[in-house]
Amino acid sequence: MGITGNLKTMALAELLQWLSQGQKTGTLVFDSDKFEKHIVFERGTIISSASTDPAEYLGNFLTARAMVTDEQVDEALARQETEGKLLGSLLIEIGAITEEQLQEVLLLKAEESIYDIFTWEKGDFRFLDGEVPEETMVPMALDVQWIVLEGSRRVDELARLREHIPSPLCVPVAMVDLESLEVEDTEARILSWVDDDRSVEDICRDAQTTLILVTQVLAEQVQAGNIKAIRPRVIEVKVPTADAEAPVAPVPQHQPPPQQQVTVAQPIFAPMPAGYPQQQYMQMAPPPAAPPPGQALDGLRNHPSFGGMAGSNPASAADGGGQAGASMPQPAPTPPPSPALPPEVAGIIAESDRALASGELDTALNALREAKATKGSDAGVASAVEDGERKLQKALSDSGIALTSVPRLSCDMTSLTQLKISPSEGFMLTRVNGSYDIKSLLKMHPAPVLDTQLLFWKLKKSGHVAF
């Protein structure tokens, strides 16, 4: 029997226990705003898992824990292109890990993937009864009761860590030279991403590792006084009371409803292929309202997918755009006004538009990120940020930094090492050889698309990269 629901109405622990006690066979699929995960059951026992989260790809999982080097993963990936073997098998062949280590890592990766779902605040699920992947899977058997107990403990641990790292949007700021600390390789790798600008969420993404691991490492350094966690920028708006001297601006009685945003579902990988497939997050604007009779052709010309401009080429009576016997063209319907922006965000969005118009693309992106961090849950803000990102994407493409553009170095690597770039950006630049386009580079090392295009835009301006 297939079931569907969400984690707000049915707890994950309860769901896993129900499938275990019922000795179910099938695939349990979870969808969040960002990722999709699969848990495969056979007679009530978990035998496999898969995820679209880049942090859980085998190569990223191993390098994040300093079990293999980036160079070893690159070598295995290069061989995978020609030989078509599994990444784990290739890592064994080149001597990066042993077969026993691979078995242990795959089991740990499956457990960590499930534990991560316990930390989700929301998410939908569906159980595909009797459906299991046809591909050969590494044999494993995870006890559901142990998974539930450990997952619940992780939730309690994360709540305790919130005393030191209140939110994933917090920005860790170094109070000492973090490179001088004597820590394990895994901790050193995470701390290397602390640059007084990245948030905890950014570090998880760039280091390709889980939230709880990053939070544990940072919280320990906060307790030691080596790091200070700066809370995300949130401005509280105080509305004057009736007794206050300051006049209160009248509030419109009828606010326009927010435009509905439609999110395109992410592709399903079951099981996930080894390597670094690019993740794309696409947003679609809602379809325009149906035009009055006779204006369908005009609406088609003006549809965004055809590159038309709204308001151009009005329909005429000769085109069939007016009513029978009418001699004047019918006016186009007035589009509904955009949702009003909160006052604490309106200025930030305006700064992004100003920076974009003046060609300061990096400033424009930073302003959009600030608006999202300030009040990204607001429908009007989310719509404005998405619109700003689309404009920024077009500006980058117009400047010659499209996903299909092929970068080539205009200087030697010694010059690049003197630039102020992150380890992730430096890693990507080492793959620039004049034949890979930006899309291919993102497959080798997943990163936010806009950030990557902006990196090459800066390097093009500085003369370090040409296209």
Query: Is it the case that residue 255 has pLDDT exceeding 50?
Result: no
Stated as kind and residue range, the H or E segment containing 425 is helix 423-429
Closest by alpha carbon to 230, among 174, 188, 282? 174
**CA-to-CA distance for 127 and 28, rounded, in angstroms?**
4
Q: What is the chain's Cα-based Rg?
A: 26
The confidence score (pLDDT) of residue 287 equals 42
The confidence score (pLDDT) of residue 219 equals 92
**For the chain, what percent of residues have pLDDT higher than 90?**
13
* 233 vs 160 pLDDT, higher one: 160
Same domain for 219 and 347, yes or no, is no
Closest by alpha carbon to 192, among 227, 162, 166? 227
* CB-CB neighbours of 117 under 10 Å: 22
Q: Are 47 and 133 in contact (CB under 8 A)?
A: no
Query: Is it the case that residue 283 has pLDDT exceeding 60?
Result: no
Q: For residue 194, tell me if it sits in a domain.
A: yes
The confidence score (pLDDT) of residue 332 equals 55
Stated as kind and residue range, the H or E segment containing 100 is helix 99-118
Q: Which of 370, 398, 426 is at the close of a domain?
A: 398
Residue that is written with structure tokens 């003369």 in the block: 463
Of 163-177, 251-265, 362-376, 435-449, which gets the smallest average pLDDT? 251-265
Same domain for 424 and 387, yes or no, is no
Q: Which of 58-67, 225-234, 325-334, 387-396 has the highest average model confidence (pLDDT)?
A: 387-396
Q: For residue 291, tell me if it sits in a domain.
A: no
Total domains in the fold of the chain? 4
Same domain for 137 and 148, yes or no, is yes
- Domain boundaries, position 406: 401-467
Query: Is it the case that residue 317 has pLDDT exceeding 50?
Result: no
Same domain for 126 and 197, yes or no, is no
Q: What is the mean pLDDT of residues 200-206?
A: 85
Amino acid at the residue 115: Y
Same domain for 148 and 7, yes or no, is yes
Q: For residue 324, tell me if it sits in a domain.
A: no
Q: Is 429 exposed, middle or buried (0-12, 13-18, 19+ CB in 10 A)?
A: buried
Same domain for 394 and 414, yes or no, is no
Q: What is the mean pLDDT of residues 279-307?
A: 39
Q: For residue 272, tell me if it sits in a domain.
A: no
- Give Cα 167 to chain centroid, integer Å: 17
Same domain for 225 and 344, yes or no, is no
* Three-state SS annotation for 5-40: EECCCCCHHHHHHHHHHCCCCEEEEEECCCCEEEEE
Cα maximum dimension of the chain = 86
**CA-to-CA distance for 67 and 65, rounded, in angstroms?**
5
* pTM greater than 0.75 (yes/no): no
The confidence score (pLDDT) of residue 217 equals 92
The confidence score (pLDDT) of residue 446 equals 64
Same domain for 128 and 223, yes or no, is no
Same domain for 385 and 405, yes or no, is no
Same domain for 91 and 216, yes or no, is no
- Give Cα 52 to chain centroid, integer Å: 11
Q: For residue 236, tell me if it sits in a domain.
A: no
Of 60-69, 140-149, 228-237, which gets the smallest average pLDDT? 228-237
Same domain for 406 and 392, yes or no, is no
Q: Which of 372, 398, 424 is at the close of a domain?
A: 398
Beta strand ranges found along 339-403 (DSSP E) = none
The CATH code of the domain that includes 175 is 1.10.10
Amino acid at the residue 29: V
Q: What is the mean pLDDT of residues 95-111?
A: 87
Over residues 370-426, the pLDDT tens digits come to 888 777 678 888 888 889 999 998 999 999 999 899 998 887 656 665 666 665 566
* CB-CB neighbours of 146 under 10 Å: 10
Q: Is 256 helix (H, G, I), strand (E, B) or coil?
A: coil
**CA-to-CA distance for 56 and 74, rounded, in angstroms?**
17
Q: Is 399 helix (H, G, I), strand (E, B) or coil?
A: coil
Q: Are 329 and 315 in contact (CB under 8 A)?
A: yes
The confidence score (pLDDT) of residue 424 equals 59
Over residues 33-81, the pLDDT tens digits come to 788 999 999 999 898 888 888 878 888 888 877 788 888 988 999 888 8
The confidence score (pLDDT) of residue 41 equals 92
Q: For residue 282, tell me if it sits in a domain.
A: no
Cross-strand bridge partners of residue 26: 41, 129
Query: Is it the case that residue 305 has pLDDT exceeding 70?
Result: no
Q: For residue 360, tell me if it sits in a domain.
A: yes
CA angle, 354 then 359 then 361, to 5°:
85
> What are the percentages of helix, strand and coil residues in the chain, rounded to 5?
45, 10, 45
Closest by alpha carbon to 107, among 65, 49, 186? 49
Of 43-47, 303-307, 335-339, 385-389, which gets the smallest average pLDDT? 303-307
CA angle, 334 then 337 then 338, to 5°:
140
**455 — pLDDT class (breaks 50, 70, 90):** confident
Q: For residue 286, tell me if it sits in a domain.
A: no
**CA-to-CA distance for 46 and 372, rounded, in angstroms?**
38
The confidence score (pLDDT) of residue 335 equals 52
Same domain for 86 and 209, yes or no, is no
Q: Which of 122, 155, 188 is at the close of a domain?
A: 155
**CA-to-CA distance for 407 and 460, rounded, in angstroms?**
9
**91 — pLDDT class (breaks 50, 70, 90):** very high
The confidence score (pLDDT) of residue 225 equals 92
